[in-house]
A and B are shown apart, each in its own frame.
Chain A
Amino acid sequence: MKGRLGDASRALFRRPLARADAVANRLYGWRYNPLYQSGTLAVLGFVVMLATGLYLLLFYRIGGPYESMVRLEGQVWAGRWIRALHRYAADLAVAAAGLHALRMFLQHRSWGPRTLAWVSGLVLLFGTFVCGWTGYVMLWDEQALVLAVEGARLMDALPIFSEPQARAFVGERPIPSAFFFLNLFLHIALPVGLALVLWIHVSRLARPVLLPPRGLLWGSLAALVVVSLLVPAPLGPKAEPLSVPGTVELDVFYAFWLPASRVLAPATAWLLFLGFAGLLTLVPWWTRPPRGQRPAPSASSERLCTGCLQCSLDCPYGAISMLELAGELARRVAQVDPRLCVSCGICTASCAPMAVGPPLETGRDELARARAFANQRRPAALDVVLLACRRGAGRLAERDTVDGALVHPVTCAGHLHTSVIEFLLRSGAGGVLVASCPPRDCWGREGPKWLQERLHHGREAELRESVDRRRLGVVYAGEGERRVVLQALAELRRTIEALEQEPAEERVEVELECERPRAEAS
């Protein structure tokens, strides 16, 4: 029931997001696709907020908050657009964080050992909302008054204050400076606390990436600066408690709740908020698969492990450590911590002896499946075998053949052992095309990166040098990018056809060159 609830809610968003990913990939390429960088863009927004906030702090006066904002707006060269940049960076942080949470939810990356990241991410998001609320109230314009009054009305519903807080804003007496001091204090102190929560958020990652790649970083920053110059952040008329507010300009990223909250009784608003917050907090519980269907964590074989360290280096979650065995056969063996392992299977492809991996997903299991595939499908010299990642690759893993290519689905291209590729080529296939998710969108974080390293850069468990790289292709394609895979397939097929048409003598010569020393030796 719980798993089905998660699947049903995912089905709503997964396809539209896959389409959006495909469009963004066409425009920016997978490396700079902002939809793949939602987490790092949120951090970028946070960093810009901090930098611009320090500048704005120099001009803010708790004795005359609105007046200091008006003075700042008068600084055409710096103040006005820096305030706008501060605001739009705050909006970017919330929008990107929301998208990041949605992605993690859709990709089943929100339960098990990732629960800590999910819950701390929600704390980050909620903290950012509160920080934003204090920031808007600090301006003390009409929007600030509306937010302050509504916030106080909601707080008054809680049995914690002896005096109704909303009375502070009725116009009976001037708003005390202490109120603005408290706001300013919270506005500065909260980000410090959020930085700590961010550290917790990424603490289970071996190599957390906090900022987007340089091109996207500067591009996003440039877009924000241009918009800050073109569209200054609004500053409404000064808050006047003895006047009906009328129409104000609201920031939907931070005040989206206001229209609903104003028409609801405070108790109902609180119940709705707590219900929604509870639903989000319990996502790790209600989206995890039923007990029997949860992927098991990786395990290492003490018999096969050579203690080479590679799996512990490759694991994106720091779940593998090396255990020193005592006694006569003292050596190191890999040990997987099941509390940290997310069953991504990246370790499967880490070592030549295939000693680590989730049950039934080790390199040996992959090789056995490839053997069965080759026996059944019997690939010929002009055939291409498409090793399609089940999570992306234009959803081609669901098919038997694509455009004449034989499809062999793999759980994740990131834990594809190089021996599988070598075996398929040796079993007669003309070529192998690996269709993987784009690197920044890998469900196991670093799968495509390590795959490339193993295929082309000699990373441990590398593809043997004797394997002809011309017959091998790797293409990055998301769920909605079938076209990209088909293009790569056509290109590889052309290469193979060209290779097959090469004069046989030339090939014989090369083979003879290889065979000669052996023949001489014998």
Chain B
Amino acid sequence: MRVLAAAAVALGLALALALCSRLPFAVETRDDARIRLSWRALPERIEECREPSAEELAKLPPHMRRPRICEGRTLPFLLQVTLDGETRLDARIQPAGVRGERPAYVFRELRVAPGEHRLTVRFAAQPDGPAPQGLRAPLVLEETVRLAPGSVLLVTYDPDTDRLRIRTSG
């Protein structure tokens, strides 16, 4: 009798172990859909050059006297997402790295109601003042999208066509 009880308890414990190995966990609800934005962008670098004055040059040691002094910096990006005319995201994206010289990474996810939507995504370098010459044109995506519950719509950048594009499952 005791042996049977011992075997039953051992099996029960092993069964509990197996059941604890497969406990259901609701990671997220699948009632709504997601718009995921993910891409990598090289920062826009602008340089501001000027000619130093004679006094400035005189203060410098001879080997450091240059006719033009250029200071460069990278611009942050502005990411705007509107859905059916409503602004859902308006974020400034800084390039990575201590001096902001490394690529900027866009990695955002928006929760949206399933159904048909008019989606606009705009991604552009954001100068402090007037746009300097040679600045790249903003990346703009305007699409009507149909989202099923639980689906994810990925907006990403296609370097071959230099455009934003959409990916969905299937």
B18 within 8 A of A: yes
Interface segment among B34-42, B55-63, B134-142: the answer is: B34-42
Q: Which residues of A contact B20 (CB under 8 A)?
A: 91, 251-253
Q: Which of A219, A243, A259 is within 8 Å of B151, CB to CB?
A: A243
Q: Mark contacts of B112-132 with chain A using CB atoms, 8 A cut-off: 1 yes-contact digit, 0 otherwise.
A: 000000000000000000000
A232-270 at interface with B (beta carbon < 8 Å): 233-234, 240-253, 255, 258-259, 262
**Are the CB atoms of A162 and B167 closer together than 8 Å?**
no
Give the distance in Å from the alpha carbon of A163 to the alpha carbon of B97 in the complex: 10
**How would you classify the secondary structure of chain B's contact residues: helix, strand, loop or mixed?**
mixed
Known contacts A163-B40, A227-B17; A251/B22 CB under 8 A: yes
A227 x B15 contact (CB < 8 A): yes
Q: How far is the CA of A87 from the CA of B20 in the complex (A)?
A: 11
- Interface contact B11-A226, CB-CB below 8 Å: yes
A92 beta carbon closer than 8 Å to chain B: yes
Q: Is the CB of A226 within 8 A of B14?
A: yes
CB distance from B112 to the nearest CB of A (A): 11
A206 close to chain B: CB less than 8 A? no
Contact status B167-A242, CB under 8 Å? yes
Which parts of B32-91 form the interface with A (CB within 8 Å)? Answer: 33-34, 36, 38-40
Question: Using a Cβ cutoff of 8 Å, how many contacts connect chains A and B?
Answer: 132
Closest approach, in angstroms, between the C-beta of B142 and any C-beta of chain A? Answer: 21
Cross-chain contact A249 with B23 (CB below 8 angstroms):
yes
B-side contacts of A92, CB under 8 Å = 17
User: Are A172 and B5 within 8 A (Cβ)?
Assistant: no
Question: Contact: A87 with B21, CB < 8 Å?
Answer: yes
CB distance from B157 to the nearest CB of A (A): 9
| Residues from chain A with Cβ under 8 Å of B39 in the complex | 172
Would you call B154 and A171 a contact (CB within 8 A)?
Answer: yes
A13 adjacent to chain B (CB < 8 Å): no
Which of B27, B152, B154 touches A262 (beta carbons < 8 Å)? B27
A27 contacts B18, CB within 8 Å? Answer: no
Residue of B nearest to A171 (CB): B154
Contact bitstring A83-95, B, C-beta under 8 A = 1, else 0 = 0100110011001
Interface check A433, CB cutoff 8 A: no
Tell which of B2, B30, B153 touches A246, judged by Cβ atoms closer than 8 Å.
B30
A152-172 near B? 1/0 per residue, CB < 8 Å: 000000000011101100111
Partner of A27, one of B9, B25, B150, B152: B9
Q: A162-B102, A244-B152 are in contact. Are A88 and B26 (CB under 8 A)?
A: no
Q: Report the minimum CB–CB distance from B98 to chain A (whole Å).
A: 10
Q: Which of B13, B18, B40, B150 contacts A231 (CB 8 A)?
A: B18
Please tell me if A179 contacts chain B, counting CB pairs below 8 Å. no
Inter-chain CA distance A246–B152, complex, in Å, is 12
In angstroms, Cα B29 to Cα A10, docked, is: 41
The proximity string for A residues 486-499 relative to B, scoring 1 for CB distances below 8 Å and 0 otherwise, is 00000000000000
Evaluate contact between A227 and B150: CB separation under 8 angstroms: no
Chain A residues contacting B110 (CB-CB under 8 Å) are: none
Judging by beta carbons under 8 Å apart, are A146 and B27 in contact?
Answer: yes
A91→B150 CA distance, assembly (Å): 31
Check: A224 CB closer than 8 A to any chain B CB: yes
Residues in A with CB closer than 8 Å to B17 are: 88, 91-92, 95, 227
Q: Is A220 an interface residue (CB 8 A)?
A: yes
Q: How far is the CB of A365 from chain B (nearest CB, A)?
A: 42
How far apart sit A245 and B24, CA to CA, in the bound complex (Å)?
Answer: 12
**Residue in A closest to B105 when the chains form the complex, CB atoms:** A164
Instruction: Give chain A nearest CB distance to B23 CB in angstroms.
Output: 5
Q: Name the residue on B nearest A223 (C-beta).
A: B14
Most chain A Cβ neighbours within 10 Å, of B25, B36, B102, B154: B25
A28 at the interface (CB under 8 A from B): yes
Known: A227-B14, A227-B15, A242-B152. A166 touches B107 (CB 8 A): yes
Q: Given A219-B10, A220-B10, decide whether A170 and B22 contact each other with a Cβ distance below 8 A.
A: no
B105 touches A167 (CB 8 A): yes
Interface size on A, residues (CB 8 A): 48
A223, B28: Cβ atoms closer than 8 Å: no
Q: B23 contacts which chain A residues (CB < 8 A)?
A: 249-252
Any A CB within 8 A of the CB of B169? yes
CB-CB < 8 A to B145: which residues of A?
none
* Residues of A258-304 whose CB lies within 8 A of B: 258-259, 262
Residue of B2, B15, B22, B103 with most partner-chain A CB within 10 A: B22
Q: Are A162 and B96 in contact (CB under 8 A)?
A: yes
Q: Which of A340-386 touch B at CB < 8 Å? A: none
Shortest Cβ distance from residue A69 to the other chain B in the assembled complex, whole angstroms = 15
Q: Is the CB of A172 within 8 A of B10?
A: no
Binary CB contact string for chain A from 66 to 102 against chain B (1 if under 8 A, 0 otherwise)? 0000000000000000001001100110010000000
Q: Give the one of A172, A224, A252 with max B CB within 10 A.
A: A172
Alpha-carbon distance A195/B25, docked complex (angstroms): 33
Could you tell me if B18 and A245 are in contact, using CB atoms closer than 8 angstroms?
no
Shortest Cβ distance from residue B122 to the other chain A in the assembled complex, whole angstroms: 20
CB contacts (< 8 Å) of A248 on chain B: these are 24-25, 27
Q: State the CA gap A146–B26 with chains docked (Å).
A: 11
Bound Cα distance A304, B25 (Å): 66
- Specify the chain A residue showing the minimal Cβ separation from B30: A246
Which of B13, B102, B150, B168 contacts A244 (CB under 8 A)? B150
* Smallest CB gap from A246: residue in B: B30
Contacts of A220 in B (CB 8 A): 10
Residue of B nearest to A232 (CB): B18
B152 touches A171 (CB 8 A): yes
In the complex, the answer to whether A91 meets B21 with C-beta atoms within 8 Å is yes
Question: Could you list some 5 contacts between A and B, CB below 8 A?
Answer: A172-B156, A219-B10, A242-B151, A243-B152, A245-B27
New contact pairs (18) apart from A88-B17, A242-B168, A248-B24, CB-CB < 8 Å = A27-B2, A27-B5, A88-B14, A91-B20, A163-B40, A171-B154, A172-B167, A226-B14, A234-B21, A242-B152, A243-B169, A244-B150, A245-B28, A246-B30, A247-B24, A247-B26, A248-B25, A253-B21
10 shortest A-B CB distances, which residue pairs?
A242-B169, A223-B14, A249-B22, A227-B14, A231-B18, A250-B25, A170-B38, A245-B27, A246-B30, A242-B152
